[in-house]
Structure formats: structure tokens, C-alpha cells
Amino acid sequence: DAKTTQPTSMDCAEGRAANLPCNHSTISGNEYVYWYRQIHSQGPQYIIHGLKNNETNEMASLIITEDRKSSTLILPHATLRDTAVYYCTLTGSNDYKLSFGAGTTVTVRA
């Protein structure tokens, strides 16, 4: 079972930032937070991951709270192509598999 909780859905205006929350209150010390997305039944696509520091790459930023019990994925300038299901998941040092929950369905509107 996924150890994260996410809102079921959210809308975002094109060109605006999209902030996707994720709660992981039972996260353990060696678990990383990973974000993937799935566009219309395609294979999931890696976005970003982090342990405790904030991370940024060309796709998104990841903000992890100091207690690590929650995080936020930020898509800085959402486009219509960012419409997808976004998954927040945890992976630890002894756990190679990804456990996906229901994710957040993000709809970017023009």
C-alpha cells in the first residue's frame, strides 16, 4: 500500500504555477520522496526526487518540509501538456519497487 496521501484532483491555469501537495507522515529516515506522472495511460514518467533538501530540475521543484512529513511538487509554468496524473511515492534503501497510489489528476486549462 502506498504510504502517501494526495488530493484526488486539481485544476491549474495555463502559465501559472501548479503546487501539488503530498502527505507522508510515516516516512522513515532512509526513504526518499519520488514524483512521477502518467499522461493518458502512457508509462509513468520520472519527475524528481529528494530526501530532505529542496530539489529543482528542468521539470519541477520539490519542497520537503523540515519534519519530512509532507512535500510539494511545483510545476513553475504549467502547460496543457502537463495535464496528467501525478504520483508521490516513497522508496527506501531496501525497497527497489515503486508503490503507486491513486495520485492527483491535474488538469491544466487554457
Q: Which residues bind other proteins (CB under 8 A)?
A: 2, 32, 34, 38, 41-46, 49, 87, 91, 93-103
For 45, the 3-state DSSP assignment is: strand
**C-beta closer to other proteins: residue 14 or 23:** 23
What does the alpha-carbon distance between residue 61 and residue 83 come to, in Å, rounded to a whole number? 17
Q: How many CB atoms lie within 10 A of CB 38?
A: 16
The gap between the terminal CA atoms of the chain, to the nearest Å, is: 35
**C-beta closer to other proteins: residue 18 or 103:** 103
Shortest Cβ 15–other proteins spacing (Å): 26
Shortest Cβ 40–other proteins spacing (Å): 11
Q: How many CB atoms lie within 10 A of CB 83?
A: 18
**C-beta closer to other proteins: residue 43 or 110:** 43
Shortest Cβ 9–other proteins spacing (Å): 15
